[in-house]
């Protein structure tokens, strides 16, 4: 009998190593190596067989017949936008997110919506009992929906169930970490099990034409394998995000072989499940305090969608030797850069002041286009003069203090106009922006500072 070899597999990145060490050489995470049997997972070399000679495959040209991927739309517009127009048949999706963020809720609502449209849906939960899922379905008003439910974790049993009946349109597996297959003999939740189970389910999707949705918990560290190893196996990866204490949730595409990767879907968690938010700007601007110094509305973009959001700055005299800088919803390094540019190029001194920056509503901005809006908020708070309440701001700052143009200016202006804003402060652009707003253009931050500090 062949002696079974063991190897150590990093539960974070999936790298293997012949001996244990405290830190993974590949990804640098600590305490992630777990002993697993080698040569038993899917993809392991067949031991007892001799190698077969390959057969040539036909090569085709790049130009040729094109087929639109057949899709099933859920009718939940925010979800369909993110997937690129609905679930593609025979594809596999991974929906990741922190525990408790609402993944099961979203997928239960999607299942119910599809079932109501006449599609057959199977929802397999490895985390909750049938009674619990029914309770959630009742809360979501989805009881009448024709969804096949099972609480099961064995991949073999799930596949046998799916193959016994007619092929469903959509299969939800909640969650991938709870699945286990007899093809791999390590413990459930380990990378080998997660990878082997996902592979078996993806193979089923390709063969049958059903869409598979895998739910994956994202854990910072810990025993359960992160869904990272599954990301390159699936056709699309969606992340469901939200801030603790806030009700809105953002569904973001990270990878999509069949559609755009920069779209977001916005939802609000209510007591009856997730509600679509068709106009996120209204949500983020709903609690605005218009007359306070340091508040500014930034005209941002998420993919192809404009999002208006309020940025608040508080600049207060500091009692500390090293003043505090605290940021929520924006990049810390970016704030330091804007502060340094204001100090060095515009002569605005923040050295004796604490600086706090907050993006309202728990939203997170990742665009450099927010630089000028942030600078305006900081200066406004420092000099104690409120900015015009009916204005939006956008523009990127360079280290020289110049304000640089950013992409999608027309879309930003259109959204601001739609929401009733009258003014825009933006970078100078060559061909001039066409809009009904009163436009003030800046070519550097010094002009902007003079304007805020000078006039009221």
Q: Which position among 41, 86, 90, 97 is part of the footprint of ligand TYD (CB under 6 A)?
A: 97
Q: Please say whether the dihedral angle defined by the alpha carbons of residues 18, 23, 25 and 26, taken in this order, is positive or negative.
A: positive
Query: Using the rule CB under 6 A, is 104 a contact of ligand TYD?
Result: yes
Choose the binding region for ligand TYD from 96-104, 322-330, 426-434, 446-454 (rule: CB under 6 A).
Answer: 96-104
Minimum separation from the CB atom of position 211 to ligand TYD (A): 19
Choose from ligand TYD, Mg ion, none: what does 97 bind? Cβ within 5-8 Å by kind. ligand TYD
Choose from Mg ion, ligand TYD, none: what does 28 bind? Cβ within 5-8 Å by kind. none
Residue 104 or 153 having the CB closest to Mg ion: 104
Q: Residues 72, 87: contact at Cβ < 8 Å?
A: yes
Choose the binding region for ligand TYD from 98-106, 161-169, 179-187, 311-319 (rule: CB under 6 A).
Answer: 98-106
Minimum separation from the CB atom of position 247 to ligand TYD (A): 8
Q: Under the rule (CB under 5 A), what is the footprint of Mg ion?
A: 104
Minimum separation from the CB atom of position 211 to Mg ion (A): 19
CA-angle at 347, arms to 344 and 349, nearest 5°: 95
Residue 104 or 208 having the CB closest to Mg ion: 104
CA–chain centroid gap for 132, Å, is 27
Query: Using the rule CB under 6 A, is 100 a contact of ligand TYD?
Result: yes
Report 250-289 residues binding ligand TYD (CB under 6 A).
Answer: 269, 271-273
Residue 173 or 448 having the CB closest to Mg ion: 173
Query: Using the rule CB under 6 A, is 103 a contact of ligand TYD?
Result: yes
Minimum separation from the CB atom of position 453 to ligand TYD (A): 45
Q: How does DSSP assign 159-197, residue by residue?
A: HHHHHHSPPPSEEEEE-GGG-B-TTS-S-TTSHHHHHHH
Residue 105 or 358 having the CB closest to ligand TYD: 105
Helix or strand holding residue 201 (H, E)? helix 191-208
Choose from ligand TYD, Mg ion, none: what does 293 bind? Cβ within 5-8 Å by kind. none
Helix or strand holding residue 379 (H, E)? helix 371-383
Choose from Mg ion, ligand TYD, none: what does 273 bind? Cβ within 5-8 Å by kind. ligand TYD
Minimum separation from the CB atom of position 237 to ligand TYD (A): 15
Report 341-380 residues binding ligand TYD (CB under 6 A).
Answer: none
Query: Using the rule CB under 6 A, is 101 a contact of ligand TYD?
Result: yes
The helix-helix angle for 191-208 and 155-164 (nearest 10°) equals 10
Residue 103 or 353 having the CB closest to ligand TYD: 103
353-359: strand order across its sheet: 325-328, 353-359, 305-317, 295-302, 391-393, 423-427, 438-442
CA-angle at 115, arms to 196 and 233, nearest 5°: 20
Of the candidates 105, 150, 152, the one whose C-alpha atom is nearest the C-alpha of residue 123 is 150
Residue 117 or 140 having the CB closest to ligand TYD: 140
The beta-carbon contacts of 179-183 under 8 Å, at least 24 apart in sequence, are 179/126, 179/153, 179/154, 179/155, 180/153, 180/154, 180/155, 181/154, 181/155, 181/156, 182/154, 182/155, 182/156, 183/40, 183/41, 183/42, 183/155
Q: What CA–CA distance (Å, rounded) separates 101 from 103?
A: 6
Q: Give the C-alpha distances (Å, rounded to integers) separating 404 from 254, 300, 394, 396.
A: 27, 15, 10, 5
Report 116-145 residues binding ligand TYD (CB under 6 A).
Answer: 136, 139-140
Residue 249 or 345 having the CB closest to ligand TYD: 249
Instruction: Please state, as a whole number, how many other Cβ atoms lie within 10 Å of the Cβ of residue 152.
Output: 16
Q: Lay out the site mask for ligand TYD across 213-252 (x = CB under 6 A, - = otherwise).
A: ----------------------------------------
Contact positions vs ligand TYD (CB under 6 A): 97, 99-105, 136, 139-140, 269, 271-273
């Amino acid at each position: 009998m062949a002696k079974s070899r063991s190897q150590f597999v990093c539960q974070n990145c999936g790298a293997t190593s012949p001996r244990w060490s405290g830190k993974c050489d590949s990804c640098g995470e600590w305490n992630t190596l777990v002993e697993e049997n080698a040569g038993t997972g899917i993809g392991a070399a067949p031991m007892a067989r001799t190698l077969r000679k390959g057969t040539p495959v036909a090569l085709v040209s790049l130009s040729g017949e094109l087929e639109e991927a057949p899709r099933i739309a859920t009718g939940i517009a925010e979800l369909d936008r993110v997937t690129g127009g609905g679930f593609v048949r025979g594809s596999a999706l991974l929906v990741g997110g922190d525990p408790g963020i609402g993944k099961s809720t979203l997928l239960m609502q999607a299942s119910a919506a599809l079932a109501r449209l006449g599609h057959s849906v199977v929802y397999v939960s490895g985390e909750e009992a049938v009674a619990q899922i029914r309770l959630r379905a009742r809360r979501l008003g989805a009881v009448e929906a024709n969804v096949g439910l099972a609480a099961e974790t064995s991949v073999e049993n799930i596949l046998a169930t799916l193959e016994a009946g007619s092929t469903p349109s959509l299969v939800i597996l909640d969650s991938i970490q709870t699945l286990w297959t007899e093809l791999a003999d390590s413990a459930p939740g380990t990378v080998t099990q997660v990878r082997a189970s996902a592979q078996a389910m993806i193979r089923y999707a390709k063969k049958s034409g059903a869409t598979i949705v895998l739910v994956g918990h994202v854990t910072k560290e810990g025993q359960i394998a992160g869904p990272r190893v599954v990301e390159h196996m699936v056709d699309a990866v969606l992340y469901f995000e939200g801030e603790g204490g806030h009700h809105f949730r953002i569904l973001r595409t990270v990878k999509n072989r069949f559609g755009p990767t920069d779209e977001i879907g916005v939802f609000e968690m209510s007591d009856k499940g997730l509600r679509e938010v068709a106009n996120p700007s209204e949500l983020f601007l709903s609690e605005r305090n218009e007359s306070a110094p340091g508040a500014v509305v930034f005209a941002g973009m998420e993919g192809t969608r404009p999002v208006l959001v309020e940025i608040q700055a508080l600049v207060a005299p500091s009692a500390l030797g090293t003043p505090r800088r605290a940021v929520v919803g924006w990049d810390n390094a970016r704030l330091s850069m804007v502060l340094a540019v204001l100090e060095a190029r515009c002569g605005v001194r923040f050295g004796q002041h604490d600086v706090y920056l907050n993006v309202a509503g728990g939203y997170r901005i990742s665009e450099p286009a927010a630089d000028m809006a942030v600078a305006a908020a900081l200066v406004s708070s420092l000099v104690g003069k409120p900015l015009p309440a009916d204005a939006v701001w956008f523009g990127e700052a360079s280290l020289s203090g110049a304000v640089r143009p950013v992409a999608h200016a027309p879309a930003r202006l259109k959204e601001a106009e739609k929401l009733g804003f009258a003014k825009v402060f933006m970078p100078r652009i060559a061909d001039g922006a066409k809009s009904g707003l009163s436009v003030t253009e800046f070519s550097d931050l010094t002009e902007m500072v003079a304007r805020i500090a000078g006039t009221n």
